[in-house]
Amino acid sequence: MSRWQRAAGLGCAFLIAIVASVSTGQTAGATPSRLGDSARILAVSPETATRTTMTVYSAAMKRPVRVSVLVPRGRSGPRPTVYLLDGIDGGVYTNYTQSGWTFQTDIARFVADKNVTVVLPIGGTGSYYTDWRRLDPVLGRNMWETFLTEELPPLVDRRFRGNGRNVIGGLSMGALGAMSIAVRNPDLYRGVVAFSGCLDQGSPEFRQATATSVTTRGGNPENMWGPLDHGTWDAHNPADHVSALRGKPVYVAVGNGLPDPALGLAGLASPVGGVLEGIVARCTESFKRRADRAGVDITYDFRAGLHSWGYWNQDLHRAWPTIARALSSAG
């Protein structure tokens, strides 16, 4: 039995921990071909004085994608841009009307006085915000890296007066997605933030955990990066390419699997929240060892906490100085 097959044990435990209902809402309503083959803004709908929902046609995914955009009250510009990616249920709990960030955290209020545009894709359930090798029967056509790096930024910059200075980040699934995108597109981002993400996909155990999380949302992980020993996994593993982060402000936070009493009710989660964070903590420790060997300076917050939104809201506040430093950097 190979080391990759032996990883199934951890995968089964991970599956039990995160089993949830599967949603296919993000792939409903295929885009008519008459929309053409170029990315474009289809609609812009103000929700509040500082939040807008923008609908963008993605030529790569051949469908519309909703995006929340947060702008400062003063709306001075041009401004830098922060892209923040959602967790594995991206959009499910709001029927794809909001990002988890605006639904679960105080981000809209927190950034309202900051001269930055914050872009929050709505959707991406189970996708890891990557370009999939094949169309998936349940999760559909996922070409998120192309959308986030090639299609969306020029549209955001033109519409919201971006100055070309970008930071990318995410939580859980979105943390791995953001870090993978950052190391593969280092010229596009000045910094990265990642909360509770499995950032080293080098071991069969960690790959199995990621693959199993995709299956809980109905997807076939082989349609994403192929079998666990396929080279596509190596190509998207942040730890394998961590040297691309050298010189950039980077912030990584992860909990220890135990609740933090200081957060009160916001710090509670179902029992699986501890199991998940324990796995992610091991991934993060492995990522740190590899980053340290590569001489890459990263700010880590190995804190108390579970795999839940109360901690990620706290992480956003604690990470902001790193984000601000990256956005103001000359490099």
Vertex 66, ends 31 and 28: CA angle to 5°? 40
* Residue 27 is assigned to a structural domain of this protein: no
Kindly indicate the confidence band of residue 330, based on its pLDDT and cuts at 50, 70 and 90: low
CA dihedral sign of residues 151, 155, 158, 161: negative
- What pLDDT shows up at residue 12? 42
Tell me: pLDDT of 9 over 70: no
pLDDT tens-digit series, residues 218-251 = 999 999 999 999 999 999 999 999 999 999 999 9
What's the mean per-residue pLDDT of the chain?
90
- Asked if 89 and 26 count as a contact pair (C-beta separation under 8 A), the reply is no
Domain count, the chain: 1
What CATH number corresponds to the domain at position 232? 3.40.50.1820
Tell whether omega for the bond before 64 is within 30 degrees of 0, i.e. cis.
no
> Does residue 26 lie in a domain region?
no
Beta strands per DSSP E along 123-226: 162-171, 191-195
pLDDT at 175 > cutoff 90: yes
At 141, give phi and psi (nearest 5°): -90, 110
- What is the reported pLDDT for 79? 96
Let me know if residue 191 belongs to a domain.
Answer: yes
- Residue 221 domain-assigned? yes
Classify residue 32: in a domain, yes or no. Answer: no
The pLDDT value recorded for residue 20 is 36
Whether residue 96 is predicted with pLDDT greater than 50 in this model: the reply is yes
Indicate whether 14 pLDDT > 80.
no
Q: What pLDDT does 317 receive? A: 98
Work out the percent of the chain whose per-residue pLDDT is above 90. 85
HSE-CB for 252 with a 13 A CA cutoff: 29
* Structure confidence at residue 36 (pLDDT): 56
Of the two residues 74 and 310, the one the predictor is more confident about is: 310
Phi/psi of residue 226, nearest 5 degrees:
85, -170
Least confident of 26-30, 151-155, 161-165: 26-30
- Which position has the higher pLDDT, 214 or 17? 214
Residue 303: which domain range?
3-21+37-328
Q: What is the DSSP letter of 206?
A: H
Whether residue 31 lies inside any domain: the answer is no
User: For 149, which DSSP code?
Assistant: I
Band of residue 74 on the pLDDT scale cut at 50, 70, 90:
confident
| φ/ψ of residue 27, rounded to 5 | -105, 5
Place 329 in a pLDDT band, splitting at 50, 70 and 90. confident
